[in-house]
Structure 1
Amino acid sequence: MRRKSLETLNNDYGRYIWRKWLVLLVLLVITAASGLFSLIAGSAGLSVKEVILAIAHRGDLRTETIIWNVRMPKLATAAAVGAALALSGCIMQNVLRNPLASSSTLGVSQGASFGAAVAIVYFGAGIQVNAGGTSSALTVTNPALVTLCAFAGGMATTVIILAISRLRGTTPATMVLVGVALSSMFTGGTALIQYFCDDVMVATVVYWTFGSLGRAGWRDIAIIVVLTFGAFGYFIYNRWNYNAMESGTSTAKSLGVHVDALILSSMALCALISSVAVAFVGCISFIGLIAPHIMRRFLGNDYRFLIPASALCGSALLILSDIVSRTLLSPTVLPIGALTSFLGAPLFLYLIIKRGGMK
């Protein structure tokens, strides 16, 4: 009888694991299909055959130029940034014990926006030029400086949060409140910078905060990918520790988890990858918040599967958002950050209503 019971448990566990892997496989197929459609969609009107030939460097010059110089970098940026933001949101929600934690709610994105505004307005990274007649425009002449300042602003937020936590021994809930306060402070600072600028500079700062996947080059993409893969490896290594954290910090400590060290190291890595992502592409809202919640509906809180699933879901969501931004009002390209906020908010509200609130 006991042997039969053990066999039943083993079979049930095997089916449980198989379903998790099936969800990951389906998600991988969806992400790959979204990526292929991203290369096809657009005003150029390319076919699947033309895209495949261009990827293999056997297409005509025009198609290869469109694919490799325009669409492939945007696809790679969307996949890398979506994964980075979703990973950071997934882990932040675990270690802070707060389902609303993400880089945007903790002030990382707002700190990056403040840093970019400082670079554009005060460090000479933006120069106003005559666009013909009486009109003028402002071009970002030093994108590296803007990226560096945005990264510094995003990391500054996290350093302050971690420093206060270390010095005062605050709880995870208090860390979220500190992030909200810093977010408000950086938003106010950005607003003050815009208040004392002329109209053209204000428009440029606002446009940067909307987000754009076309800013990052291949070297920038490589930086995002390397850092994201490094963080992913660390998160997967600690997957059982995150599972223990789901039962509470007391239970995790009783199981041998070094809770304080795990929270600090995880928060630092989350801030690093999200700050780098925001620094290169601007503010992308809701991806880091909503992707983990979507996958929890299918996988629960098993971080062995939730971590890679969140990364894939974040990539797929940002790729699909990019497709919508390029095709909805073609040939006009909508700002990706504004679009993710517009589409993400109703979806997030739907998830809250379906779950009867987030506990």
Structure 2
Amino acid sequence: MSVQDRLDTSVRAWRARSARRGAAVGAALLLLVGLVLADLMTGPSAMSPGALWQTFLAGPQGADRAAAAILFQIRLPQTVMALIVGGALGLAGLMMQTILANPLASPFTLGFSAAAGFGAALAIMFGSAMIVPVPTWLLTPLCAFVATLSATALVWLVARLKGSQPEVLVLAGIAVLFFFQSLQSLVQFMASPEVLQQIVFWLFGSLLKANWTAVKTAGVIVALCLPLIARETWALTTLRMGEANAESLGLDTDALRRRVFLITAALTAAAVSFTGTIGFVGLIAPHVARAMVGEDHRFALPFAALTGALILVSASVVSKLLSSGAAIPVGIVTAVAGIPMLAAVILTHRGN
């Protein structure tokens, strides 16, 4: 076989592989659309597809005010928030696992979610005593956001003292996880029964707190991160080839880790500040993405975001079906379903 024939064969194989990956992303997107419709139709007041369509076309000021209120003020904000949070956690998880070369890395396992929980617990317990010029409804998410960024700074500071190596970042993240979990326990121990109930409900992770203001705030943060993520696509793909290979191609791996670490912190903070702690999404979504589309981050990043959104919207649907009176917090559903989902991904993964 001539050199030109081998080149043509390689090009055809690459195009076929890219087509399969694109088809996988398209199929995931179609499945997500179906789940979004199912999420909007399920709940204590069920809606048929026809009623959903008519209410949507009529708008918030439609003739059926009850249906309009349910759709536009309750269900739609929760569904959109599930898309934003699931997508953000999926992206953050994949980028963390890439820069740390660790399949167990995620916003949850590295302590970011625990830090958010501690910040929220402080706001719930001492909110009335805090003199902060922000609306009351924004105090808890703001404290969770600040605590998440503080945990990021703490992990990075510890890692910088030891050279910012991936294993050091992982160990620092685990230390931060236990540190903030301990602080969470301390605050819960000191809280009154009424305050403790509010803290525990926030830690469960729920979409019930979603409203349009929260959706806009989280959505803007995630949207601002997307161009920064797109800039790092090729660098992240190169890093998956191995650190030595990446550095031989001129990639500054330490600078890349620093940039990506800040992006993942912002994504995580935006995701959990308004919904509470939601585990396993950022851990499972990257494994599903790699199993389906491989290591090329042009496809893996969108697929991880779609998978995260799929998991969270599915959890929302399941939580409503399991409890007809009030939806079970999605954080509980993802925690229960996370272990068998991860086991299924591991057992069915055959490489790329």
> TM-score range, shorter-chain basis?
over 0.9
Q: Which amino acid aligns with 2:150?
A: A
Pick from 253, 277, 290 the counterpart of residue 271 of structure 2: 277
- Matched letter for residue 201 of structure 2: Y
Give the equivalent residue in structure 1 for 2:82. Answer: 78
Q: Deviations over 1:103-155 (max 9, x none)?
A: 100100000111111111123289xxxxxxxxxxxxxx933111111111111
**What secondary structure does 1:247 align onto?**
coil
Q: d(CA) in 2 for partners of 1:156 and 1:212?
A: 23
> TM-score, length-normalised on structure 1?
0.91
Q: Give the 3 Å change call, closer, same or farther, for CA 353–22 of structure 1 in structure 2.
A: closer
Specify the alignment match of 1:174 in structure 2.
168
2:45 partner SS: coil
Paired position in structure 2 for 1:92 = 96
Q: Distance in 1 between matches of 2:231 and 2:105?
A: 22
What's the counterpart of residue 42 of structure 1?
43
State the alpha-carbon separation in 1 of the partners of residues 292 and 312 from structure 2: 19
Match status 1:264 vs 2:258 = yes
1:253 maps to which residue? Answer: 247
Taking structure 2 as the reference length, the TM-score comes to: 0.93
Q: Which amino acid aligns with 2:288?
A: I
Separation in 2, partners of 1:205, 1:192:
12
Do the aligned partners of residues 125 and 42 (structure 1) sit closer, same or farther apart at CA in structure 2, a change above 3 Å counting? Answer: farther
Distance of 2:198 and 2:105 partners within structure 1: 29
1:87–1:232 Cα contact (<8 Å) kept: no
What code does the residue aligned with 2:18 have? I
Which of 165, 172, 180 is residue 186 of structure 1 equivalent to? 180
Q: Which residue in the other structure is 2:346 paired with?
A: 352
- Mean CA deviation greater in 298-307 or 228-237: 228-237
Partner of 1:101: 105
Alignment of 1:141-290 (within 5 A): 142-290=136-284
Alpha-carbon distance in 2 for matches of 1:121, 1:22: 49
Report the CA distance between 1:182 and its aligned residue. Answer: 1.0
Mapped partners of 2:108, 2:278: distance in 1: 8
What are the Cα deviations for residues 226-275 of structure 1, in whole angstroms up to 9, with x where unaligned?
Answer: 22223222222221111110122221111111211110110111011111
Q: What percentage of aligned pairs have identical amino acids?
A: 31
Structure 1 residues 145 and 343: CA distance shift in structure 2, 3 A: same
Shift of 1:353: 4.0
2:123–2:140 Cα contact (<8 Å) kept: yes
Counterpart mapping for 1:47-62 below 5 A: 47-57=48-58, 60-62=64-66
SS of residue matched to 1:103: coil
Separation in 2, partners of 1:217, 1:144: 12
Structure 1, gaps ≥5 residues long: 127-140
Q: Which stretch has the larger CA shift, 282-291 or 195-204?
A: 195-204
Aligned-partner Cα distance in 2 for 1:290–1:313: 9
Let me know the Cα RMSD of the aligned residues: 1.8
C-alpha deviations, 1:61-117, integer Å up to 9, x for none? 222211101110001000000001110001000001111111100100000111111
The whole-number CA distance in structure 1 between the counterparts of 2:3 and 2:170 is 48
Q: Work out whether 1:2 is the aligned partner of 2:3.
A: yes
1:67 aligns with 2:71: yes
Question: Once the two structures are superposed, what CA deviation does each residue of 1:187-228 show, in whole Å capped at 9, x if it has no partner?
Answer: 111111111222222121111100111213212212222222
Contact 2:162–2:168 (Cα < 8 Å) also in 1 = no
Secondary structure of 1:100 counterpart: coil
Distance 1:348 1:96 in 2: 19
Q: What count of residue pairs does the alignment treat as equivalent? A: 343
Answer yes or no: is 1:11 the counterpart of 2:51.
Answer: no
Q: CA deviation at 1:328?
A: 1.1
Larger mean CA deviation between 167-176 and 28-37 belongs to 167-176
**Aligned counterparts of 1:231 and 1:15: Cα–Cα separation in 2:** 31
In structure 2, the residue matched to 1:30 is: 31
State whether residues 152 and 262 of structure 2, in contact with CA within 8 Å, keep that contact through their aligned partners in structure 1.
yes
Q: Where does structure 1 differ by over 6 angstroms across 4 or more consecutive aligned residues?
A: none
Q: 166-175 or 235-244: which moved more?
A: 166-175
Q: Describe the SS at the equivalent of 2:273.
A: helix
Match of 1:124, SS?
A: helix
Gaps of 5+ in 2: none
C-alpha separation between the residues in 2 aligned to 1:171 and 1:32?
A: 40
